[in-house]
Amino acid sequence: MWTRGRWPALLAVLTAGLLVCHGLVPNTPGRLGSLLEVFLPWLGLVVVPLFGLALLRRSALALLALLLPTAAWTYLFGGLLLPGAASGPRSLVVVQHNVSDENTDPAGTARALAGAEPDLIALQELVPPALTVYGRTLAADYPHHVVRGTVGLWSKHPLSGVRTTDIRPRDITEPWSRGLRAVVHTPYGEIAAYVAHLPSIRVGAGGLASSRRDESAGRLGRAVAAERQETVILLGDLNGTVDDRGLAPLTSRLGGARRGFAFSFPAALPLARIDQVMARSASVDHIRALPATGSDHLPVAARVSLR
């Protein structure tokens, strides 16, 4: 029992090492480190076939080794499975959604998002004439809104200090506006809300192509760092998970969700949460995916507690 199953035991140790030390995996060539981090929670599934092999081999060594990746995964992601705490007296509900520029039912999408009764709704890939439909459908419950380029913010509370946030990569020369900033005057004080849509990434034979997204994340990170409002909420399609080192300029300055996986993409078979709600001087207590709309993304709703 203690000499059989050495290969399953070795694979279990390797899996645990990748979970805990994923930051040591080099990002060249092909940004392999970032690619691993995009799907990092799914690495825990390796335990299932290894457990089967350990039983088949009747290997105590392999069974004992499986405790390592199990403990590593639980340490990294187990807390996300816990239920969220009850809403505090100073909390907001926010919704983030890439509505897709090919969405054939913008009115139905808008009604579905408003049905979650959020304080803020952030949208990306807004294109005419769908933009007019979103504005008309949300107007009654969200009288305050702003749109810059293809991103927009709808709010139950007054907005001021609206400006475009320039996150355009240097090699894009055509008109391109995917970031905005606004001050939201909530009953609990003023917060700076950022809405962003970072460039897409592609996975191919050469690995992960994310240079534009990484550059855009750096520009957005610098804008957040320079923000004078103490409390900041970022809502956006960041085309990356919070574990992806390419988003470090943001994840190093903002906190992510404490509870909930909320995989949001692709909508037909969600494998990763690339739609994020993050905050500074506030906590994102819980995040969840909402039912599918006409988009290739799922909407996510989060509860944010202000300090």
Tokens standing for residue 191:
């917060």
pLDDT at 51: 94
Least Cα distance to 191 among 161, 149, 236 occurs for 161
List, for the chain, all residue ranges whose pLDDT scores fall below the cut of 50.
none
By the 8 A CB rule, do 23 and 73 touch? no
Smallest Cα–Cα separation from 302: which of 73, 129, 29, 120? 120
Do you find a cis peptide bond into 69, omega within 30 degrees of 0? no
Q: What is the pTM of this model?
A: 0.93
* Per-residue tokens: 272: 């990763």
Report the C-alpha gap between 193 and 302 in whole angstroms: 14
- CA dist 92 and 232 (Å) reads 13
| Interaxial angle between packed helices 47-57 and 6-20, expressed in degrees from 0 to 180 and rounded to the nearest 10 | 160
- Tokens 């399609």 belong to residue: 237
- Residue 105: which residues within 8 A CB-CB, separation 6 or more? 293, 294
Q: Which residues contact 14 (CB under 8 A, 6 or more apart)?
A: none
Element (H, E) at 153: strand 151-155
What does the pLDDT read at residue 6?
A: 86
Domains within the chain, CATH numbers bracketed: 6-81 (no CATH), 91-306 (3.60.10.10)
pLDDT for position 28: 81
What's the CA gap between 135 and 149, in Å, rounded?
14
